[in-house]
Structure 1
Amino acid sequence: MEGTVDGFRYGAVTPVAAYVMACLGGALGLRCIVRSLLNTDSWKPGWLALGAASIGCGIWTMHFIAMIGFQVEETRIRYDTGLTLLSLAVAIVVVGVGVFIVGYRGAGTANLAFAGIVTGLGVAAMHYLGMYAMRLNGAINYAAFTVALSILIAIVAATAALWAAVTIRGFLTSLGASLVMGVAVSGMHYTAMAAVSVHVHGTTGGSWAGASASSLLLPMLVGPVIFLVLAGVVVMFDPLLVLGDGDWNRATARREPAAPPAEEAPAPTHSSLFETPAGPSRARQHPYDTPQRAGEW
């Protein structure tokens, strides 16, 4: 029989919390990527990796917070621990691929399109891998058209995020871009969930062992949330990340002391008797060194 699917078990609590985490991961990731571009002397691979991990953790955390609100009334839902952790690794790795492509090769049309497609497909793979980790007494079916639409949204969202990462430099503009990213990621998730239907096998039970949502997801979410908090601390204590390129340059200029006035050239010194204040001159004549005429002493 068809199960009764409900994606909003706790009302607006899980969608709002999921959106906030997606925005937080996007904001931190964008600022870290901007940091690698503003100062070429910094450790670029480290900043790009931190940005990719922040965005990946934000997307993964958003997905599973939203999944806490998902239920099928006729059966309990459990999760496979290994596949759930694998979905987190997939999210971070595929976002990292896209971030490093645009971070090192720039946001040209070809690079941005390739990186956006790879990252979008990876985000979709993370979502559906997380769905595959579900264990319930039934079979999950997907509507093909809605699945394709969710993948398209993931690609567009990933491309826009990567473009923003290498184009937008200011703090407020990055914040606005992260809010848009949160909408796109949440839209992709709930579009994909709209494709889901469940055929329940019956009420006699079945082989669907695994950890329940509350016993698995809540503890597992603690790690990524702590990571995002620590990444936020790194961002907060780096003035270049907070101010942005132009504001940082102005602030540095205000702190630098004015250059001292140029010193006047010292008066010429005379190192020998054969120099006069006017510069190199004739040799001085001795008082008795006068021209002699013929017949004179």
Structure 2
Amino acid sequence: MQASLLELYKPNLIESIRHWLEEDIGTGDVTTLSTIPADSVSTGIIHVKEDGILAGLPVAEEVFRAVDPALVFEARAAEGGPLRKGDLIAVVSGSTRSILLGERLALNLLQRLSGISTRTRSFVDALEGLPTRLVDTRKTTPGHRLLEKYAVRVGGGHNHRFGLYDAVMIKDNHIKGAGGISAAVQAARASIPHTMKIEVEVESFPQLDEALAAGADIIMLDNMSVPDMTEAVKTIRSSAPHVIVEASGNVNLNTIRGIASSGVDVISVGRLTYSVNALDISLDLNERKESSL
């Protein structure tokens, strides 16, 4: 599934990489051009300095390919696989100048995406044995949403909506602006195709009752206590068993299993993609050889 997402995104990814390289290189890498001979050939060793879950290896390869199609990129670790401090991730060989041109962008993407997949895996592990689905949110880095959602999948999580266009999610400000949950759901139902679902965020039992009466397809229990969520799930199951129940708010590694025990179907976690620590990954030139030309 995650591979197909990246493949669908590939044309846009290649274009994005071109822009990101332009941002970094500008009119030229003055340091590399002034210090590295044009005929210098090297091998770049990409390795990890801490434990984690690898994500973004195909993206890093695309970076080096965009810089110089003659570079040879060899993966030495599996996408989505566990990493241990010191593990070799990949080897890139060819023009020293080209390797150095692509190094920072490739590492930035590898580190960020691996940080997301590593954090996601920790939440997935916390839910082990439970049927609850872990999903991300729209709290992503502008311009990097599909990549970051890809990394969530690599880490074992699932994706929520990709943007404002693919699902109706009626939140507190929509409720205020529309004049209530019933009015918001009714207006949305009249405007969207029959194939699109409507999700309503509720913070109280009166709002829950209104959302059920309005015919919401998905109900998000926002910032409720575990006892209240448990009671809310019972109410939903008894009156509308087809409704999907999502929990959100105050979710961390210490609380997620208790939240799942309430019986919710889905738990959305914004911290999967925001304020994530990048995994420490480096590239070192090794076995440098000067061309005989």
Under a length normalisation based on structure 1, what TM-score does the superposition of the two structures give? 0.26
Which of these two proteins has the greater Rg computed from alpha carbons? Answer: 1
- From the two aligned structures, give the one with the greater helix fraction: 1
TM-score (normalised: structure 2): 0.26
